[in-house]
Amino acid sequence: MDWEKLDLNPKIINALRKANVSSAEKILVLPSSDLQRLLQLSDSEVQLVHTAVASLYRPLPPVTALQLSRGEFPSLEPGHRLSFACPVLDGLLCDGLPLQGITELAGESAAGKTQFGLQLSLSVQYPREHGGLGAGAVYICTEDPFPIKRLRQLITQQSRLRPDVPPALIRSLRFSDNIYIEHTADLEALQTCVTQRVRTLLARGLVRLVVVDSVAALFRSEFQADEAIERARHLLAFSSTLHRLSHTYSAPIFCINQVSDVVDGPNPGRCDYG
Protein backbone atom coordinates (compact mmCIF):
# COMPACT_ATOMS: atom_id res chain seq x y z
CA MET A 1 0.00 0.00 0.00
CA ASP A 2 1.14 3.53 -0.78
CA TRP A 3 1.19 5.16 2.65
CA GLU A 4 2.00 8.53 1.05
CA LYS A 5 -1.65 8.80 0.01
CA LEU A 6 -2.74 9.01 3.64
CA ASP A 7 -2.80 12.21 5.63
CA LEU A 8 -0.03 11.13 8.02
CA ASN A 9 3.17 12.83 9.09
CA PRO A 10 6.51 11.48 7.78
CA LYS A 11 7.43 9.96 11.15
CA ILE A 12 4.41 7.65 11.09
CA ILE A 13 4.91 6.75 7.43
CA ASN A 14 8.54 5.83 8.11
CA ALA A 15 7.46 3.68 11.06
CA LEU A 16 5.02 1.79 8.83
CA ARG A 17 7.71 1.14 6.25
CA LYS A 18 10.30 0.16 8.84
CA ALA A 19 7.89 -2.38 10.37
CA ASN A 20 7.21 -3.73 6.87
CA VAL A 21 3.47 -3.13 7.16
CA SER A 22 2.25 -3.35 3.58
CA SER A 23 -1.54 -3.66 3.85
CA ALA A 24 -4.38 -1.69 5.36
CA GLU A 25 -5.96 -4.95 6.51
CA LYS A 26 -3.18 -5.54 9.02
CA ILE A 27 -3.73 -2.09 10.50
CA LEU A 28 -7.46 -2.64 10.94
CA VAL A 29 -7.34 -6.11 12.53
CA LEU A 30 -4.48 -5.56 14.97
CA PRO A 31 -5.37 -4.23 18.45
CA SER A 32 -3.97 -0.79 19.23
CA SER A 33 -1.57 -2.17 21.84
CA ASP A 34 -0.02 -4.64 19.37
CA LEU A 35 0.22 -1.99 16.69
CA GLN A 36 1.85 0.40 19.13
CA ARG A 37 4.58 -2.15 19.93
CA LEU A 38 5.06 -3.05 16.28
CA LEU A 39 5.42 0.54 15.07
CA GLN A 40 7.02 1.92 18.24
CA LEU A 41 4.64 4.86 18.20
CA SER A 42 2.60 6.56 20.88
CA ASP A 43 -1.04 5.68 21.49
CA SER A 44 -2.23 8.94 19.92
CA GLU A 45 -0.13 8.30 16.80
CA VAL A 46 -1.55 4.80 16.45
CA GLN A 47 -5.05 6.28 16.66
CA LEU A 48 -4.15 8.60 13.79
CA VAL A 49 -3.08 5.58 11.73
CA HIS A 50 -6.33 3.74 12.48
CA THR A 51 -8.42 6.78 11.59
CA ALA A 52 -6.58 7.44 8.32
CA VAL A 53 -6.79 3.82 7.15
CA ALA A 54 -10.43 3.40 8.19
CA SER A 55 -11.40 6.50 6.21
CA LEU A 56 -10.32 4.71 3.03
CA TYR A 57 -12.94 2.01 3.57
CA ARG A 58 -15.66 4.06 5.23
CA PRO A 59 -15.85 7.51 3.64
CA LEU A 60 -19.23 8.16 5.28
CA PRO A 61 -19.54 8.25 9.08
CA PRO A 62 -21.90 5.78 10.78
CA VAL A 63 -25.41 7.03 11.46
CA THR A 64 -27.11 6.19 14.76
CA ALA A 65 -30.81 5.46 15.26
CA LEU A 66 -31.11 8.73 17.22
CA GLN A 67 -29.70 10.67 14.26
CA LEU A 68 -32.15 8.93 11.93
CA SER A 69 -35.10 9.81 14.17
CA ARG A 70 -33.99 13.45 14.25
CA GLY A 71 -33.27 13.58 10.53
CA GLU A 72 -29.60 14.34 11.18
CA PHE A 73 -27.95 12.45 8.33
CA PRO A 74 -26.84 15.02 5.74
CA SER A 75 -24.15 12.68 4.39
CA LEU A 76 -26.75 10.16 3.20
CA GLU A 77 -28.25 10.70 -0.21
CA PRO A 78 -31.85 11.88 -0.03
CA GLY A 79 -34.51 10.02 -1.97
CA HIS A 80 -36.63 6.93 -1.83
CA ARG A 81 -36.43 4.58 1.16
CA LEU A 82 -37.75 1.10 1.81
CA SER A 83 -40.86 1.33 3.97
CA PHE A 84 -41.52 -0.99 6.92
CA ALA A 85 -45.22 -0.76 6.01
CA CYS A 86 -45.77 0.47 9.55
CA PRO A 87 -46.41 4.20 10.17
CA VAL A 88 -44.81 4.07 13.62
CA LEU A 89 -41.55 2.46 12.43
CA ASP A 90 -41.40 4.61 9.31
CA GLY A 91 -41.88 7.68 11.47
CA LEU A 92 -38.99 6.68 13.72
CA LEU A 93 -36.68 5.93 10.78
CA CYS A 94 -37.62 8.82 8.50
CA ASP A 95 -39.76 6.76 6.10
CA GLY A 96 -37.83 3.49 6.32
CA LEU A 97 -34.47 1.95 5.49
CA PRO A 98 -31.89 3.84 3.41
CA LEU A 99 -31.22 2.12 0.10
CA GLN A 100 -27.46 2.07 0.58
CA GLY A 101 -25.75 0.64 3.62
CA ILE A 102 -26.29 -1.93 6.35
CA THR A 103 -29.00 -1.64 8.98
CA GLU A 104 -28.54 -3.86 12.03
CA LEU A 105 -31.31 -4.94 14.39
CA ALA A 106 -30.01 -6.53 17.60
CA GLY A 107 -31.90 -7.76 20.62
CA GLU A 108 -32.55 -10.61 22.98
CA SER A 109 -34.09 -13.92 21.97
CA ALA A 110 -37.83 -13.97 21.18
CA ALA A 111 -38.04 -10.17 20.88
CA GLY A 112 -39.62 -10.29 17.41
CA LYS A 113 -36.52 -9.46 15.34
CA THR A 114 -37.30 -11.97 12.59
CA GLN A 115 -40.74 -10.40 12.19
CA PHE A 116 -39.10 -7.23 10.89
CA GLY A 117 -37.12 -9.21 8.32
CA LEU A 118 -40.26 -10.95 7.07
CA GLN A 119 -42.21 -7.70 6.96
CA LEU A 120 -39.50 -5.99 4.91
CA SER A 121 -39.32 -9.00 2.57
CA LEU A 122 -42.97 -8.36 1.70
CA SER A 123 -42.79 -4.57 1.70
CA VAL A 124 -39.94 -4.49 -0.83
CA GLN A 125 -42.19 -6.17 -3.42
CA TYR A 126 -44.68 -3.30 -3.55
CA PRO A 127 -44.24 -0.56 -6.18
CA ARG A 128 -42.28 2.53 -5.22
CA GLU A 129 -45.44 4.60 -4.80
CA HIS A 130 -46.42 2.24 -1.97
CA GLY A 131 -43.04 2.29 -0.21
CA GLY A 132 -41.45 -0.70 -1.91
CA LEU A 133 -38.83 -1.21 -4.59
CA GLY A 134 -40.76 -3.43 -6.99
CA ALA A 135 -38.43 -6.40 -6.52
CA GLY A 136 -37.95 -9.47 -4.35
CA ALA A 137 -35.79 -10.25 -1.33
CA VAL A 138 -33.17 -12.83 -0.46
CA TYR A 139 -33.42 -14.16 3.10
CA ILE A 140 -30.31 -15.87 4.50
CA CYS A 141 -30.78 -18.08 7.56
CA THR A 142 -27.74 -19.18 9.57
CA GLU A 143 -29.33 -20.71 12.69
CA ASP A 144 -32.99 -21.62 12.56
CA PRO A 145 -35.07 -22.87 9.62
CA PHE A 146 -36.87 -20.20 7.64
CA PRO A 147 -40.20 -19.37 9.38
CA ILE A 148 -42.41 -20.23 6.41
CA LYS A 149 -45.56 -20.54 8.55
CA ARG A 150 -45.14 -16.98 9.87
CA LEU A 151 -44.52 -15.71 6.35
CA ARG A 152 -47.73 -17.31 5.08
CA GLN A 153 -49.66 -15.73 7.93
CA LEU A 154 -48.30 -12.31 6.99
CA ILE A 155 -49.14 -12.86 3.32
CA THR A 156 -52.75 -13.81 4.07
CA GLN A 157 -53.10 -10.67 6.22
CA GLN A 158 -51.72 -8.21 3.67
CA SER A 159 -55.14 -6.79 2.76
CA ARG A 160 -55.74 -5.93 6.42
CA LEU A 161 -52.17 -4.79 7.12
CA ARG A 162 -51.93 -2.63 3.98
CA PRO A 163 -55.26 -0.76 3.68
CA ASP A 164 -53.39 1.95 1.74
CA VAL A 165 -52.80 -0.43 -1.18
CA PRO A 166 -55.56 -1.33 -3.68
CA PRO A 167 -56.77 -4.92 -3.06
CA ALA A 168 -56.31 -5.78 -6.73
CA LEU A 169 -52.62 -4.86 -6.53
CA ILE A 170 -52.11 -7.01 -3.43
CA ARG A 171 -53.77 -9.98 -5.15
CA SER A 172 -51.52 -9.55 -8.18
CA LEU A 173 -48.30 -9.87 -6.16
CA ARG A 174 -46.86 -13.39 -5.84
CA PHE A 175 -45.14 -12.69 -2.54
CA SER A 176 -43.74 -16.15 -1.76
CA ASP A 177 -42.33 -16.56 -5.29
CA ASN A 178 -40.18 -13.46 -4.85
CA ILE A 179 -38.45 -14.39 -1.58
CA TYR A 180 -35.29 -16.40 -2.21
CA ILE A 181 -34.33 -18.44 0.85
CA GLU A 182 -30.75 -19.48 1.58
CA HIS A 183 -29.41 -21.57 4.47
CA THR A 184 -25.73 -21.32 5.40
CA ALA A 185 -24.21 -23.42 8.17
CA ASP A 186 -20.72 -21.87 8.31
CA LEU A 187 -18.82 -18.73 7.38
CA GLU A 188 -17.41 -20.17 4.17
CA ALA A 189 -20.90 -21.04 2.95
CA LEU A 190 -22.16 -17.59 3.96
CA GLN A 191 -19.39 -15.79 2.09
CA THR A 192 -19.95 -17.96 -1.00
CA CYS A 193 -23.68 -17.32 -0.86
CA VAL A 194 -23.23 -13.55 -0.68
CA THR A 195 -20.48 -13.23 -3.28
CA GLN A 196 -22.05 -15.57 -5.83
CA ARG A 197 -25.77 -16.31 -5.54
CA VAL A 198 -26.83 -13.05 -3.90
CA ARG A 199 -24.73 -11.01 -6.31
CA THR A 200 -26.36 -12.78 -9.25
CA LEU A 201 -29.87 -12.11 -7.95
CA LEU A 202 -29.04 -8.43 -7.45
CA ALA A 203 -27.39 -8.10 -10.85
CA ARG A 204 -30.45 -9.56 -12.57
CA GLY A 205 -32.76 -7.19 -10.72
CA LEU A 206 -34.67 -10.04 -9.09
CA VAL A 207 -34.07 -8.75 -5.55
CA ARG A 208 -33.46 -5.36 -3.95
CA LEU A 209 -33.26 -6.43 -0.30
CA VAL A 210 -30.86 -8.76 1.53
CA VAL A 211 -31.79 -10.06 4.98
CA VAL A 212 -29.19 -11.96 7.04
CA ASP A 213 -30.59 -13.73 10.11
CA SER A 214 -28.12 -13.76 11.77
CA VAL A 215 -24.48 -12.76 11.23
CA ALA A 216 -23.19 -12.98 14.79
CA ALA A 217 -24.32 -16.59 15.26
CA LEU A 218 -21.70 -18.02 12.92
CA PHE A 219 -18.92 -15.84 14.31
CA ARG A 220 -19.75 -16.95 17.85
CA SER A 221 -19.74 -20.62 16.94
CA GLU A 222 -16.62 -20.70 14.74
CA PHE A 223 -14.18 -18.63 16.80
CA GLN A 224 -12.91 -19.05 20.33
CA ALA A 225 -12.35 -16.19 22.76
CA ASP A 226 -8.61 -16.09 21.98
CA GLU A 227 -9.21 -15.77 18.21
CA ALA A 228 -10.39 -12.17 18.26
CA ILE A 229 -8.01 -11.01 15.52
CA GLU A 230 -9.03 -13.74 13.10
CA ARG A 231 -12.69 -13.15 13.87
CA ALA A 232 -12.29 -9.42 13.24
CA ARG A 233 -10.56 -10.13 9.93
CA HIS A 234 -13.41 -12.32 8.70
CA LEU A 235 -16.04 -9.89 9.94
CA LEU A 236 -14.33 -7.00 8.15
CA ALA A 237 -14.19 -8.95 4.89
CA PHE A 238 -17.83 -9.97 5.12
CA SER A 239 -19.11 -6.49 6.01
CA SER A 240 -17.05 -4.98 3.18
CA THR A 241 -18.69 -7.40 0.74
CA LEU A 242 -22.15 -6.43 1.95
CA HIS A 243 -21.37 -2.71 1.68
CA ARG A 244 -20.09 -3.11 -1.88
CA LEU A 245 -23.21 -5.00 -2.94
CA SER A 246 -25.50 -2.47 -1.28
CA HIS A 247 -23.84 0.54 -2.90
CA THR A 248 -23.44 -1.13 -6.30
CA TYR A 249 -27.08 -2.20 -6.61
CA SER A 250 -28.69 0.38 -4.30
CA ALA A 251 -30.13 -2.42 -2.19
CA PRO A 252 -30.59 -2.16 1.59
CA ILE A 253 -28.94 -4.83 3.77
CA PHE A 254 -30.85 -5.81 6.92
CA CYS A 255 -28.82 -7.79 9.47
CA ILE A 256 -30.50 -9.42 12.46
CA ASN A 257 -28.37 -10.33 15.47
CA GLN A 258 -29.12 -11.83 18.85
CA VAL A 259 -27.27 -10.34 21.79
CA SER A 260 -25.35 -12.81 23.95
CA ASP A 261 -25.23 -10.61 27.07
CA VAL A 262 -27.93 -10.33 29.71
CA VAL A 263 -30.72 -8.01 28.65
CA ASP A 264 -32.45 -6.97 31.83
CA GLY A 265 -33.36 -4.01 33.96
CA PRO A 266 -35.94 -2.76 36.44
CA ASN A 267 -38.63 -2.61 33.73
CA PRO A 268 -37.46 -4.59 30.69
CA GLY A 269 -39.61 -4.13 27.61
CA ARG A 270 -40.66 -7.32 25.86
CA CYS A 271 -42.62 -8.11 22.71
CA ASP A 272 -45.31 -10.77 22.82
CA TYR A 273 -45.19 -11.73 19.14
CA GLY A 274 -41.57 -13.13 19.18
Q: Which of 12-21, 56-65, 146-155, 174-183 has the lowest mean pLDDT?
A: 56-65
- Percentage of the residues of the chain whose pLDDT score is greater than 90: 39
Give the CATH architecture of domain 7-57.
Answer: Orthogonal Bundle (1.10)
- Cβ contact 273:90 at 8 Å: no
- Cβ contact 82:126 at 8 Å: no
Arithmetic mean of pLDDT, 21-37: 83
Residue 70: is its pLDDT beyond 70? no
Q: What is the pLDDT of residue 35?
A: 86
Residue 103: is its pLDDT beyond 80? yes
Q: Which CATH class name applies to 65-258?
A: alpha beta
Binning pLDDT at 50, 70 and 90, where does residue 59 land?
A: low
> Could you give the angle at the alpha carbon of 136 between the alpha carbons of 131 and 139, nearest 5°?
110
Q: Which of 159-168, 177-186, 260-269 has the lowest mean pLDDT?
A: 260-269
Q: What is the pLDDT of residue 274?
A: 36
CATH 1.10.150 residue ranges for the chain: 7-57
Q: What is the pLDDT of residue 265?
A: 56
Binning pLDDT at 50, 70 and 90, where does residue 254 land?
A: very high
Q: What is the pLDDT of residue 273?
A: 34
Alpha-carbon gap, residue 248 to 188, rounded angstroms: 23
Query: Smallest Cα–Cα separation from 158: which of 182, 125, 117?
Result: 125
Q: What is the pLDDT of residue 27?
A: 82
Alpha-carbon gap, residue 141 to 120, rounded angstroms: 15
Q: What is the pLDDT of residue 75?
A: 46
Q: What is the pLDDT of residue 76?
A: 47
Q: What is the pLDDT of residue 82?
A: 94
Q: What is the pLDDT of residue 272?
A: 39
CATH 3.40.50.300 residue ranges for the chain: 65-258
Q: Which of 21-25, 62-66, 79-83, 196-200 has the lowest mean pLDDT?
A: 62-66
Distance of CA 195 to the CA centre of its chain: 15
